[in-house]
Amino acid sequence: MLWDDAEANSAAPISATRPGHAARPLADAGPSAGLRIDRALREFISTRVEAKRHPKTSRVWGQAWDQVIGEVSEACQTAPRASDLGAFVRARATLEIELDADRRRAVILPDDLERRLTAALKAVDESVGELRLANAPGTMAPVPRLDGELVLRAPLSPMIVSSPFGVRADPFSGQRRFHAGADFDAPEGSNVYAAASGLVVYAGTQGGYGKQVIVDHGDGVRTHYSHLVEIFVQPMQALEEGEPVGAVGSTGRSTGPHLHFAVTNFDGEFLDPIALLDVPYTTIAEQVKSGGKSRHALTVRKRGDTVEILSAK
């Protein structure tokens, strides 16, 4: 395992329709997820080397596991970046290999360690899945933007935000995980519209995201539309803003009909999609990435635990 290179590469519902909305502070104000994981792995291995002076019944073995599992789990609550992928892969390989070594040596470990490790590795796999969403197999290289300022529009109207961008309790496991997009509730079959003009770079099935479409808007900015019941477009198809790309569904890892909408940039980073709507991308993208805010007046109607956007004031 090589970590030196990796070191160098170092809520309440909210909503918007046409206007933007106050961006949530991002969960990764400190080191990236990948950097945190690699630091945890180095410390884990170092501790285990020192622990060889202790008997197999010593608490030091379990304490090292407790620390690395906790730190990996916390790192998975940070928005993943393309550059983090290697660290996630190293985490899975390292922890599985080291657990197998402890089993063979009959090291005495906490009774619930395997359960907690399984949960942590599942979070690692989910983060890898997010990064695969950012660059799904078969997607083409980013194209330059040639037709003026990029402004992203709402992919649904009205938009009912059921799960915003940021850390949340996973609807299946209940564990705290980073949600790298925004979920919009809508009846199954509702049209989903292209947020801006662009080129379809992926249209197909993508694991837990079910049927999904990825549109490249130029300069590496891409919008992702997931859990569709039907896809209306094909790769290499040019789209205009507002053209239907598919229909709302519940395919993949989903609890009911909704659209998972995500925005990624050239660096493979996920940005709060709601905060970017109806604002020239170049004027707000860096602010959104760093957790800044952009406020707009909205007319809203509360519906249970969600907020429906009716119009801009």
* Lowest mean pLDDT, pick from 22-36, 144-158, 183-197: 22-36
Asked whether the predicted pLDDT for residue 168 surpasses 60, the reply is yes
Alpha helices in 9-84 (DSSP H): 33-51, 59-75
Question: pLDDT tens, 41-92?
Answer: 999 999 999 888 899 899 999 999 999 999 999 998 888 888 888 899 899 9
Question: pLDDT: is 293 or 117 the higher one?
Answer: 117
- For residue 73, the enclosing domain spans 1-313
Tokens 């730190």 correspond to: 71
pLDDT band at residue 261, thresholds of 50, 70 and 90?
Answer: very high
Question: Average model confidence (pLDDT) for the chain?
Answer: 81
Specify whether the CB–CB gap between 270 and 79 falls below 8 A: yes
Question: pLDDT: is 178 or 154 the higher one?
Answer: 154
Name 2's Cβ contacts closer than 8 Å, sequence gap at least 6. none
Check which CATH number belongs to the domain holding 187 and give it.
2.70.70.10
Look up residue 127 and give its amino acid: S
**What's the Rg (C-alpha) of the chain?**
21
pLDDT of residue 86: 87
Q: CA-CA distance, 248 to 190, in Å (whole number)?
A: 5
Asked whether the predicted pLDDT for residue 128 surpasses 70, the reply is yes
pTM score over 0.85 = no
Q: Based on the structure, what is the number of domains in the chain?
A: 1
Name 119's Cβ contacts closer than 8 Å, sequence gap at least 6. 73, 173, 175
Q: Is 111 exposed, middle or buried (0-12, 13-18, 19+ CB in 10 A)?
A: exposed
Asked whether the predicted pLDDT for residue 295 surpasses 80, the reply is no
Q: CA-CA distance, 175 to 167, in Å (whole number)?
A: 10
- C-alpha distance across the termini of the chain, in Å: 55
Asked whether the predicted pLDDT for residue 239 surpasses 80, the reply is yes
pLDDT of residue 212: 93
Beta strands in the chain (DSSP E): 160-163, 166-169, 176-179, 182-185, 191-193, 198-205, 211-216, 222-231, 238-239, 244-248, 258-264, 270-271, 298-303, 306-312
Mark residue 165 as left, alpha or beta (left: phi above 0; alpha: psi -120 to 50; beta: remaining). Answer: beta
Specify whether the CB–CB gap between 177 and 165 falls below 8 A: no
pLDDT band at residue 167, thresholds of 50, 70 and 90?
Answer: confident
Helix (H, G, I), strand (E, B) or coil at 201: strand
Which DSSP state fits 171?
T
- Is the torsion defined by CA of 176, 168, 126, 218 positive or negative? negative
Name 190's Cβ contacts closer than 8 Å, sequence gap at least 6. 156, 247, 248
Question: pLDDT: is 7 or 167 the higher one?
Answer: 167
